Amino acid sequence: MDKPIWEPSRERAEASNMARFLRFVRERTGNPDLLRYAPLWEFSVREPQRFWPLVWEFCGVRASGELEPVIEHPDAMPGARFYPNIRLNFAENLLRHRDAHPALIFRNEWGHARELSYAELAAQVGRFSHALRAAGVGPGDRVAGLMPNMPETIIAMLAAAALGATWSSTSPDFGVAGIVDRFGQIAPRVLVSIDAYPYDGKTHDVLGKLRGVLDAIPAIEHTVVLDYSGQHASLAGLRGAQGWDDFSAGHGEALEFTPMPFNHAQYIMYSSGTTGVPKCIVHGAGGTLLQHLKELVLHTDLKRDDRIFYFTTCGWMMWNWLVSSLAVGATVVLYDGSPFHPDGNALWDLADETGISILGTSAKWIAAIEKAGVKPRQTHKLAALKTILSTGSPLVPESFDYVYRDVKDRVLLASISGGTDIVSCFALGNPLLPVYRGELQCRGLGMKVDAYDDAGRAVRGEPGELVCLAPFPSMPVGFWNDADGSKYRAAYFERFPGVWAHGDFVEITAHGGVIIQGRSDATLNPGGVRIGTAEIYRQVEQVPEVLESIAVGQHWQGDERVVLFVRLRAGAQLDEALRARIRQIIRANTTPRHVPARIEQVPDIPRTLSGKITELAVRETIHGRAVKNTDALANPQALAHFAALRASLETH
Ligand SMILES: CC(=O)CC(=O)SCCNC(=O)CCNC(=O)[C@H](O)C(C)(C)COP(=O)(O)OP(=O)(O)OC[C@H]1O[C@@H](n2cnc3c(N)ncnc32)[C@H](O)[C@@H]1OP(=O)(O)O
């Protein structure tokens, strides 16, 4: 059982950035024992004040100011601040290369194919940045993107970052309410959007949603619309709207970068919980950069001649992570569309056509193409492919077998895990280590990750709560609109004081690997797409017949599906018409991925003594597991209604 499924060759390991880094750290610290990953990791978490400057120097961060202190208040969790006396510009770090090497290769379902060199990218960023400045954007302003994964999204983000503005993006599959719930909170000055986009053989309109968004967010002064579909749709009637080309016309290309504090708000990302509107998580410029460089250069072994691809929307942190690859000067391959269009080979075709060497995707997709009988080993060359990354949900042991059997045997398969909250990973790949079925190779350097039982004791060889015991640079710098930090503390530090509790169940294995078991909190994760239940409740409860509802994730065919339970007004009955209406309102206002797979009626919903509905108690009940703490429930008898539905939920 403990035999690796794959091991790096000696040549591959020795040529890796991680091996070079080990040598570099040995020289700099004079510690001859740092010969393997395990002692390097120990050093990184024991001496963060020495470790992070080594990453900084090895990766060549561009900045000015004093490097000391590395961490101010190093024992405060939260409260520690990295590099308080440093200034840098995020875009300047990502655009350090300005040559003819390809920066971006883009493909989409419509057959668009484009390539931009680093020089061309820099010129386009320069022009858009001047246009944003002319529109009044300056340091600290927010620029929002309702954009697919395409070059203009990166151009707009870098242009905003060059000015010291904050970027926030959301995928255009959200309905008006989902968009307004997000961007409405951060009051962006400029909104960048497309007119329409392709997904799964269809053209999805965005212009129609823009009016509702603009009506609800008066802060937006300018709306820049890219004619992505080429249909030259009229922008008449859209407040402050201009086409992308008109907006940028007449501006010069010279890049200017405004130096910003290390902890300046670079990105705002969204995470929906069980109540209220989504949380706006603010990530700092320097912390995001340093952490991404560590993960890309060391853990992913990214080099200049690599072509890196990740299947992601601009609403998932893998987009932000992928874009940081520009700092290495590598080529970033972008794809907009369904990874199943026209068939399950779409991404393998892309890999062969564009020479992808690092291909990132999700556990759900790998399981889906296996089921569809896709066997790229027989049909594709995949000559350049050396690493496959997977995230979103746990990659099951059988998927490791599939990849090595039917995709490619000489490939490092790295399951990686972290999240929006940290815009990076807790555990991930490593070019020096073997791959064990079902395991993430290691905890990330500098990440003091552990597994805790309910009493806050570290456990090994069994699942516990994923915790991080020490500060790391990509902790959020805070939440937006949370001046006293109470929402931020409540999100991660209430479970164990002074310790980050992430909301995942994790096991740390005997050989230092990590197995993620799934969410320990009420977050839904169907197909690896993270969804907060509140977004569903806010829609369902607009349906007049529904008094209240509760949504949980049910294990289903190796994945998770969303099951929604509704309590209806006296006399109302849940029939197919009502189910369809509930699905429709969710689909229209959130995204199609929020739509529950099953909807059932219950006469009562369990709540705590303080009146909060308890998703975890319902989740345990429908899986036939004992519910802890029924004493804390005001109406434990309500669980019987869910237990009664268990057999039906298990069969269809
Ligand atoms: C380090 C970390 O920890 C970081 C992270 O986790 S970041 C998050 C990573 N998460 C992921 O990578 C998610 C992985 N999952 C997926 O990408 C997708 O589930 C999948 C590609 C595997 C399958 O996608 P899919 O085939 O479109 O199915 P699914 O996601 O179930 O889509 C449901 C519906 O939404 C629609 N849809 C999906 N994306 C859409 C879009 N952009 N626009 C419009 N409709 C869309 C689909 O067409 C489908 O519609 P129908 O119900 O009408 O058929």
pLDDT band at 257 (very low <50, low <70, confident <90, very high): very high
pLDDT tens track for 65-124: 999 999 999 999 999 999 999 999 999 999 999 999 999 999 999 999 999 999 999 999
pLDDT band at 273 (very low <50, low <70, confident <90, very high): confident
pLDDT tens track for 73-82: 999 999 999 9
Do the strands 331-336 and 102-108 form a parallel or antiparallel pair, or are they unpaired? parallel
pLDDT tens track for 497-506: 999 999 999 9
Question: What spacing in Å lies between the alpha carbon of 472 and ligand 1's midpoint?
Answer: 30
> Which atom of ligand 1 is least distant from the CA of 526?
19
Domains and CATH numbers, the chain: 10-64+292-518 (3.40.50.12780), 102-258 (3.40.50.12780), 531-651 (3.30.300.30)
pLDDT (average), residues 547-563? 95
> Which atom of ligand 1 is least distant from the CA of 200?
48
Q: How far apart are CA 342 and CA 372, in angstroms?
A: 13
Ligand 1 neighbours by CB, cut-off 6 Å: 171, 173, 199-200, 204, 316-318, 338-340, 362, 364-365, 368, 391-392, 416-419, 425, 527-529, 592-593
Q: How far apart are CA 602 and CA 642, in angstroms?
A: 8
Question: What spacing in Å lies between the alpha carbon of 407 and ligand 1's midpoint?
Answer: 22
pLDDT tens track for 201-231: 999 999 999 999 999 999 999 999 999 999 9
Could you tell me what percent of the chain has a pLDDT over 90?
Answer: 95
pLDDT tens track for 127-176: 999 999 999 999 999 999 999 999 999 999 999 999 999 999 999 999 99
Instruction: Give the three-class secondary structure for 261.
Output: strand
Residue corresponding to tokens 């963060």: 48
Instruction: Give the three-class secondary structure for 466.
Output: strand
pLDDT (average), residues 478-489? 96
ipTM of the complex: 0.95
Q: What element of type H or E holds 43? A: helix 37-46
Q: How far apart are CA 572 and CA 578, in angstroms?
A: 10
pLDDT score for 612: 86
Question: What spacing in Å lies between the alpha carbon of 546 and ligand 1's midpoint?
Answer: 28
Strand order in the sheet with 464-468: 449-452, 464-468, 500-508, 514-519
581 burial class (0-12, 13-18, 19+ CB within 10 angstroms)? middle
Asked whether the predicted pLDDT for residue 610 surpasses 80, the reply is no
pLDDT tens track for 25-61: 999 999 999 999 999 999 999 999 999 999 999 999 9
pLDDT score for 631: 84
Nearest to 247 by CA among 153, 141, 156: 156
Beta bridge partners of 87: 64, 261
Torsion 341-342-346-350 (CA) sign: negative
Query: What's the whole-model pTM score?
Result: 0.95
| Tokens matching residue 50 | 């020495």
> Which atom of ligand 1 is least distant from the CA of 202?
44
Question: What spacing in Å lies between the alpha carbon of 354 and ligand 1's midpoint?
Answer: 23
Asked whether the predicted pLDDT for residue 476 surpasses 90, the reply is yes
Name the residue at shortest CA distance from atom 23 of ligand 1: 365
Name the residue at shortest CA distance from atom 36 of ligand 1: 592
146, 174, 362: residue to mutate for ligand 1 pocket, most atoms within 8 A of CB: 362
Name the residue at shortest CA distance from atom 18 of ligand 1: 527
Name the residue at shortest CA distance from atom 29 of ligand 1: 593
pLDDT score for 1: 52
Could you tell me what percent of the chain has a pLDDT over 70?
Answer: 100
pLDDT tens track for 295-352: 999 999 999 999 999 999 999 999 999 999 999 999 999 999 999 999 999 999 999 9
pLDDT score for 275: 85
pLDDT band at 628 (very low <50, low <70, confident <90, very high): confident
| Preceding omega of 592 cis (within 30 degrees of 0) | no
338, 421, 523: residue to mutate for ligand 1 pocket, most atoms within 8 A of CB: 338
How far is residue 561 from each of residues 552, 556, 645, measured CA to CA in Å? Answer: 8, 6, 15
Nearest to 370 by CA among 400, 350, 393, 342: 400
Dihedral of CA atoms 594, 597, 601, 607 in degrees, nearest 10, equals -50
Nearest to 505 by CA among 546, 542, 553, 436: 553
Mean pLDDT of the residues in the chain: 96
CB atoms within 10 A of CB 343: 10
Q: How far apart are CA 165 and CA 226, in angstroms?
A: 20
> Which atom of ligand 1 is least distant from the CA of 318?
7
pLDDT tens track for 386-423: 999 999 999 999 999 999 999 999 999 999 999 999 99
pLDDT (average), residues 352-369? 97
> Which atom of ligand 1 is least distant from the CA of 361?
12
Question: What spacing in Å lies between the alpha carbon of 527 and ligand 1's midpoint?
Answer: 7
Name the residue at shortest CA distance from atom 40 of ligand 1: 173
